[in-house]
Amino acid sequence: QVQLVESGGGLVQAGGSLRLSCAASGRIVSAYMMGWYRQAPGKQRELVASITGGGTTNYADSVKGRFTISRDNAKNTVYLQMNSLKPEDTAVYYCNDVLHIFLPGWGQGTQVTVSS
């Protein structure tokens, strides 16, 4: 069964940190360019971080220097470490491959709320 399950979201004050997890089943994440997306109320979903099968990472300018994407191949899990959180980071965060071939759709995501 092909599945991606996001977890780790919550409510945090500005300046705080959260670590999101994306547990994958059915496919090996190291074979794909995996990404973390977010969708804030009234806005379109945007890609905030990605990691290639070879380990190359990329970040949106809005999160560069604050967020770190990583992968644990043994656990087949992708992580997003979020530091120095800002209220504008508030969104539902989703995990999927950038080319959208890992999973044909989106899971439930995990809610991140940053208070000012």
Neighbours of 56 (CB within 10 A): 9
State pLDDT tens for residues 76-107. 999 999 999 999 999 999 999 999 988 889 99
Q: What is the pLDDT of residue 38?
A: 98
Q: Which residues of the chain have pLDDT under 50?
A: none
Whole-number mean pLDDT of the chain?
96
Q: What is the pLDDT of residue 34?
A: 97
